[in-house]
Amino acid sequence: MTEEYDISASNLKPPTSKSVIIVVGPTAVGKTALAIELARWLGTEIISADSRQCFRELNIGVARPSEEELAAVRHHFIASHSILDEVNAAVFEAYALQTVKAIFRQHDNAVMVGGTGLYVKAFCEGMDEIPAVKPGIRAEIIAGYETHGLTWLQEQVLAHDPIFYASGEVQNPQRLMRALEVVLSTGRSIRTYQSGQKQPRPFAVHKIGLDLPRAELYDRINRRVDLMMESGLLQEVSDIFQHMSYTIRNGTRPNALQTVGYSELLDFLEGKCSLGEAVDKIKINTRHYAKRQLTWFRRDPSITWYHPADTAAIKKWLVTRLTCV
């Protein structure tokens, strides 16, 4: 290696324990590029902590790593599931813990990257067990949300689970739908299943956050959406629409399709808006999503923040944590 902070250099002591380096931040900030650079520098593998890149049917709209990027470093939790599969934070926790255990058989470190804060939290701290949702309830909630919108969803959660409504992410439809399906299935607030007790992990965790000035980040988001459209996002969504036309048209879109970039173009294909309106909504909703991601990660004091171009400083910071003092 030629990097200034080569962790294999003879003058540095070996890691004191197994470690997972987690790269987080808002969409379009440059997490994938940094994760690949770090994984190659460390000689290890990557676990994606993205709740949408795991679906085989979704590619362009979720900014899945390119074939070249996937070939550069072995990735896990990429195109590993179908949009018809039940994938949630608990599923990810089990998957990621099993995967990192396997990685540690060959490497001292692993890299995790993604913007799904709940998945990162589940991996680091564990998830409380919540009873299974009764069949049909999720589909009814999704159909209600698609028909009546966010205000209806908020009203339903306020009526059925005021405990969650008082402290939960009431602007996040996924969190609202999850809270509603739990209370309708069990008769108890989702908060009663959340003990807040962190589960110990047999490895160290080092979190790196990436951020950019807001105007620069939003410009990146807008340009990324335009590039996605040029790369065939509409055709990708159209293929999904044709393949799953009965399910989608009957108001039961799989949860995976409640995703920015897909839900807006499905609305266009169903004649609910023009293509231009759909693209504008994708940009607006992606910017809102990035803001929610930053709000989530900013609450975590264990994250050390950098500009995505500060790779030398990031490596230097990691060396101090991956080696003995």
- For the annotated binding site, the residues are 25-32
Q: Residue 159: in which H helix or E strand, if any? A: helix 150-160
Rounded to a whole number, what is the distance in angstroms from the first to the last CA of the chain?
Answer: 23
SS3 string, 69-84, reads HHHHCCEECCCCECCC
* Rounded Cα distance, 64 and 89, in Å: 19
Six token digits for residue 295: 């709000």
- Give dist(CA 175, CA 94) in Å, integer: 20
Long-range contact list for 159-168, CB < 8 A, 24+ apart? Answer: 160/184, 161/189, 161/190, 161/191, 163/189, 163/191, 163/192, 164/189, 164/190, 164/191, 167/191
Which residue reads 């949702």 in tokens?
133
- Cα separation, 275 vs 226, in Å, equals 12
Q: Please provide the DSSP assignment of 264-306 as one string.
A: HHHHHHTTSS-HHHHHHHHHHHHHHHHHHHHHHHHT-TTEEEE
Would residue 79 be called left, alpha or beta, if left means φ above 0 and alpha means ψ between -120 and 50 degrees?
left
As annotated, the binding site for ATP includes: 25-32
Question: Which residues are part of a known binding site for substrate?
Answer: 27-32
